[in-house]
Amino acid sequence: MQSKHCNMLQSWSRRGSNGTTSSTTNRLASINTNSRVETASVPMLRTLTSIRKDSCGSGTQECIPQHNASQCLSDNRRKSLLHYLIVLIAINFCYLQPASADQVVLLDTTREATLEWTRYPYGPQAQTPGWVEESFTDFVKGINWRSYVVCDVAYHNVNNWLWSPFIDRGPANRLYIEIQFTIRDCSLFPGNALSCKETFSLLFYEFDAATREPPPWQTDSYKLIARIAAGEGRFNQNSDVDINTEVKSIAVTKKGVYFAFRDQGACISVLAVKVYYITCPAVTENFAHFNETPTGREITIIEKQNGTCVENAEPYEPPTYLCKGDGKWTILTGGCRCKVGYEPNYVNKTCTECPAGTFRSAEVRKCVPCPPNSSTSSTASPLCKCIPGFYRHPRDGRHMPCYKPPGPPTNLTVLFVDQTSAIISWNAPAKDEFGMGQTEKYRSDVVYKIRCSMCNSNVMFNPSTDTFNETKLTLTNLEPVTTYTVQVHATNGISYLVDPTLYANETFTNSEVQFSNVSSTTTKNQQLDLNEIKTEHAEIIFTTESAILSTIFNLRVLAITSKDADLVWDKPVQSDAPIELYEVRWFPKPELDAMNKTALNTKETKAHIEGLSENTEYGFQVRCKTVNGFGSYSNIVYAQTHQPVSSVYDDSVQVRFIAGAIVAGVFFLVIFIVTTVYFLRSKHQDELDKKSSNHLPLPMDYASNEGLVVTYMTTPLFGNSRSYVDPHTYEDPNQAIREFAREIDANYITIEAIIGGGEFGDVCRGRLKIPPNFVQDIDVAIKTLKPGSSEKARCDFLTEASIMGQFDHPNVIYLQGVVTRSNPVMIITEYMENGSLDTFLRVNDGKFQTIQLIVMLRGIASGMSYLSDMNYVHRDLAARNVLVNAQLICKIADFGLSREIENASDAYTTRGGKIPVRWTAPEAIAFRKFTSASDVWSYGVVLWEVMSYGERPYWNWSNQDVIKSIEKGYRLPAPMDCPEALYQLMLDCWQKQRTHRPTFASIVSTLDNLARQPQSLLTIRNSPENDGTQVLDTQRGHNIFISTDLWLENIKMSRYSQHFKEANLVSAQQISRLTAQQLSDMGITLVGHQKKILHQARQLDIVI
């Protein structure tokens, strides 16, 4: 009900705004600053108007205000005044509310029992009544506050001053003053007012201390804030009362300030004055507390506030918050995180200690119970210690269980043994020996180590003696009739904590031994307990067999053909046991060490071998076997199989037949390809002729600055399985996005900072959480679409993503995905830390070796070769469209250009911008013919940019001059200190005939050869030679010498003007004879700048 009545009263009393923002009608809501609402009533308008009957006739008349500032009003005016009293009381009741939390009030006259401000004039000697302090009363509640009124319209030269008390600004940088006032309309005093005005002045005076004497009131001592008028209206006998609210602000630097009100003949009632300043409220974000912060001196100034971590938290990056001029926080960077042992409460933004029996380490986000076989009895534990007999690997996280070492291997047996070798096997340790009750908790890193007594250095182990996870071991080179003891130790990741001798050859850093109960705080008793535990192992003993003296002698080949051989040998003279059989093996001579030799067994002293290869030299060996095993092999006997004549003839005929068939097949294949090419080329030419006929009448134009011309879509004649697909061919652009780009959930993306702006919106740096668990994240670049963009702008924006999504190459920018199902629409690509190549080179002028630049150039050429193979023509290859990452890898970017002419006007525009003339091939400018060969021309300009460290091609020439020079056969000169081989590659790329230019694949090969032969880079091309190439006149833009200052400015070295003046270098002759030592003595120490100045100085010498 109260709200309803208030709304009715507001509507009743409102007269409408005059359109300004500095004043507001009927607002008293900000007068109080706390929850205690002080009511008020109408100011004592009796000082403005008092009612009395005049003795003149039966009517009433208005009296000019005298010393008591009273007048005579008619009965109608009395009713109007009563109306005003009722409305103002109701408005104050509705609008007096607590102030905003971000205002700190320094002065509020509505809360003062008495004001007693300094006034002038004042006292019995005053010529005018001046400012009068009276009460503003709420008759309903009987509550007053003090106010000031003045109405000296009946006097000449009125000059009334009213000073506020000294206001200490405290920490404020900018003060706001809010004034509630009314002004009488001068029409109320017709013919009687001598100096009636409808404005008053608000001034201020800064001072470093409060003064006992009144502050100076001269105009030149005070600074005028504003001359204030009744923005919402004045009241007269026929109108309601309008209460005006005016808010002004000033920047302050001294200890405090006086405010002054100057009246020069107006009828004013100053109802309320409030002085305050605005702060950004105290907040806690990212577990960092930011104190209440006053806004800056100017509204546009941002105040930086450093935060402090909440209790039991530590910073991961210094927390900072920016306070804007409107009292709102913006751009939070850094923050704090809870220390280990404390759990973050994201609602209250506090860190709570973990209770006993739980812990929190850096690997977990909240307090969790201790893992198996560990415990803790204290609160705020960062880890749980392993119970006795259990251990945790130093590389395991603190959330991992503790384990016992494995038990011994089981079922250790000898599978085979002879005179010099043995094979043993075993099973894995029993599961119940691991010390855990659950199978899924066992450590899976069980490996085995071997200890063998009596094994000398000749014994070979397979697997080797290092740790291995197989359950079988072969020992060779053993001694006959020898007893061996072999121990098989089962170990896992924590076994070395128990028996360090097992890992005597391994080294662990200090960080790797920070585990639970083996640490710097481990007591001596605990160490003794560890040493008492022994590693479990299984042991087996076996004896090798006795040596066999039986050896075969006199092995010989009786006969050999192209595929058969007959062998014979003598029976051994001595044998330790009866011979059971003979084993014969053979192998081609080149495969002497091969393990898969062919063998057969026989009981006779001869053997017939079949299935040999023709015309091949074989080796043959024989050994005998007794009950004690095999003896040693005999010496190798070599023999070569034959090759019959008939076979040679047959093979020759077969070869001729196969060759003839191949030739015939190739011949018919060539005819087919030529026919197909001719047919397709004719058909394609007809289509081009139709398209060209529609565009030939269009005139050409060169834009200012970069000289940009339009590009056309060029479709490759042939495609391969990975051909580029133009998104513009899709009727629905969204279908191209769905086919070539991956949709990413916006919740996995975090925007960290804005790093630039583009045609469609902002470019930001951010983080992207990656699958499968979306815990790890990577740096990405994020392009956003401006809110409210048209559907056409949205399609153009996503076209670049549908182009990039088709490419996957180390030197082409990689598309992570797009966000199209929520706003803003985003394109997510890999983040390139060093930005564009041209800017990166200019910042690092002269810092790289030539071989490093070649590696960058090779990456660009490799990326362009990939795009060329994909039948994609870039059309805008330039150093500004190549990005560089932290590893100095260059990647091709900017695929947003449209290949269509949008209108037939003189300017050829594209959706992605215009194509710069300085990088465009002549045929593309003249005939709009874009191919991979035109990209090669652009690559030559990029090569020139790289070797000149980002210098602008053709300097400050106009586009028309560039085109005319290129048409006449002129080419850019070699950059300073450019190797001859690289400049020759530039000239090859700038061949006028596009068919004479190298391909990107050949450019990659050329750069690879230069990188492998650095001596070829020693020949420097500093001046043009008589090789038939016309080089542009470099003096045209740089070396026209008028004065030293202008010359330095032309070569962009004007920062050294003072150095040249101090060295008294004023003529071209002096500068042309400069040396590197002189530049160093002058204080020019940067090598890149020295080279540039000396190079241009030598050009001056040529001109002279």
Residue 665 sits at the vertex; the CA angle it makes with 660 and 666, to the nearest 5 degrees, is 100
CB atoms near residue 33 (< 10 Å): 18
Q: Which token pair is 985? A: 């590659």
* Count of Cβ atoms closer than 10 Å to residue 657 Cβ: 10
Range list of H helices, 38-131: 75-95
Is 1051 marked within a binding site? no
Report the relative pairing of strands 283-285 and 160-163 from DSSP bridges: unpaired
Per-residue tokens: 31: 């007068």
Q: Around Cβ 11, how many Cβ atoms within 10 Å?
A: 8
**Residues 6+ away with beta carbon under 8 Å from 233:** 15, 18, 25, 239, 242, 244
Q: Are 800 and 859 in contact (CB under 8 A)?
A: no
Cα 855 off chain centre by = 24
1033 marked ligand binding residue: no
Beta bridge partners of 177: 248, 275
Sorted by sequence, the CB contacts under 8 Å of residue 308 that are 6+ apart come out as: 288, 289, 319
Burial of 903 (0-12, 13-18, 19+ CB in 10 A): exposed
Distance (Å, whole) CA 871 – CA 725: 9
Angstrom distance (rounded) from CA 337 to CA 351: 8
The answer to whether 461 is annotated as binding is no
Tell me the one-letter amino acid at 162. L
Strand partners, 674: none
Residues 741 and 818 sit within 8 Å (Cβ to Cβ): yes
Find out whether 64 and 154 touch, Cβ atoms under 8 Å. Answer: yes
The owner of tokens 């409808």 is 198
Q: Of 242, 876, 894, 935, which is the active-site residue?
A: 876
Q: How many residues does the chain have?
A: 1104
Reduced to 3 states (helix: H, G, I; strand: E, B; else coil), residue 60 is coil
- 310 marked among binding-site residues: no
Angstrom CA distances, 378 to 202, 270, 352, 421, 774, stand at 67, 67, 14, 58, 34
Q: Are strands 288-290 and 978-979 parallel, antiparallel or unpaired?
A: unpaired
Neighbours of 452 (CB within 10 A): 17
757 annotated to a ligand binding site: yes
- Report DSSP state, residue 972: P
Handedness of CA 10, 15, 21, 26 (dihedral sign): negative
**535 with 561: CB under 8 angstroms?**
no
SS3 750: strand
- The sign of the CA dihedral 466, 471, 477, 478 is positive
Give me the half-sphere count of Cα atoms (radius 13 Å) on the Cβ side of residue 405: 23
Nearest partner of 1 among 895, 9, 640, judged by Cα: 9
CA distance linking residue 926 with residue 934, whole number of Å: 12
Residue with tokens 């800056």: 296
Answer yes or no: is 756 a known binding residue. yes
Contacts of residue 36, Cβ cutoff 8 Å, sequence gap at least 6: none
Residue 758 annotated as lining a ligand binding site: yes
Q: How many other β-carbons are positioned within 10 Å of the β-carbon of residue 64?
A: 15
| Spatial contact of 62 and 267, defined as CB atoms under 8 Å apart | no
Q: What phi and psi values does residue 296 have, to the nearest 5 degrees?
A: -75, 175
Residue appearing with tokens 């594209």: 910
Pairing, β 103-108 against β 267-280: antiparallel
Quickly tell me which residue has 């038990």 as its tokens: 407
Q: Answer yes or no: 988 catalytic.
A: no
**Binding positions for ATP:** 755-763, 783
Could you tell me which residues are annotated as the binding site? 755-763, 783
Active site (catalytic) residues: 876
